[in-house]
Amino acid sequence: MSATPVQYEQAGAVAVIAMDDGKANALSYAMMDGLGAALERAEKEASAVVLSGREGRFSAGFDLREMSAGAAQARAIVTRGAEFLLRLYGFPLPVVVACSGHALAGGALTLLTGDVRIGARGAFKIGLNEVAIGMPVPILAMELARDRLNPSQLMTATLFAQTVDPETALTWGYLDELAEASALRTAALDVAGRLGALPRQAYAQTKRALREKTIAYCRTTLADDMMRLLP
């Protein structure tokens, strides 16, 4: 791991953004700041983005130190996380998520923001486990799940907090494809290269039209929802 939890590299016209904090790849302030800076750079330099974790870990969600420090601190980091997730969900370039391992809570939400989600095969857990750890599911999480998951699994994924392996995640809608861990980067770059070759303005405008209602609703309800969840 380098001094920063986020690494950026250019693979042809594709920006490869990798999370690695040496631990669970928590969505800490440092992680989200690094991801935000990487996205800003990619928008200027690249035609598509691949977002990955390190082998065995994609992300375990929001930083538990902040979440357990008190209601105000928890509201602050979840609000910051919501802003990051909505930015990623509405990002104008193609975003391919290479899910390299466990993806839980905020990590699963990050996965749901991708235009194409490719998961590594393995004994990994993927899911929205908020209810299981004592936190009501935020509106943002429910809306991303409603947009991306198989409707028949929506209640099981959110209300029942069930986590699943990558094969099941594929059928539920967390993932679009599976790859062996050794081939994950290549598979993600291939898809990102194809999507990045599409006309940029047409892609961005169509993506905005698909997602702008969800993004607007989540932003409108965010402040009240944080007070409801974390009074």
- C-beta atoms surrounding 159 within 10 Å: 12
Any idea which residue has 């989600």 for tokens? 117
Other CB atoms within 10 A of residue 231 CB: 7
Could you tell me how far CA 65 lies from the centroid of its own chain?
20
Domains in the chain, CATH or no CATH each: 6-196 (3.90.226.10)
Which of 75, 80, 72 has its CA nearest to residue 28?
80
Reading the chain (231 residues) residue by residue, the pLDDT tens digits are: 457 899 999 999 999 999 999 999 999 999 999 999 999 999 999 999 999 999 999 999 999 888 888 889 999 999 999 999 999 999 999 999 999 999 999 999 999 999 999 999 999 999 999 999 998 999 999 999 999 999 999 999 999 999 999 999 999 999 999 999 999 999 999 999 999 999 999 999 999 999 999 999 999 999 999 999 888
Is the Cα dihedral 175, 92, 85, 131 positive or negative? negative
| pLDDT for 2 | 52
Q: How far apart are CA 28 and CA 62, in angstroms?
A: 6
Please give the structure tokens belonging to residue 174. 């967390």
Q: Kindly report the backbone phi and psi dihedral angles of residue 6, in degrees, each rounded to the nearest multiple of 5, phi listed first.
A: -125, 130
Cα(25)–Cα(13) distance, integer angstroms? 26
CA 118 – CA 191 distance, rounded (Å) = 9
State residue 21's pLDDT score. Answer: 95
State both tokens at 76: 């602050």
Inter-axis angle of helices 200-229 and 139-148, to 10 degrees?
Answer: 140
What is this structure's pTM?
0.96
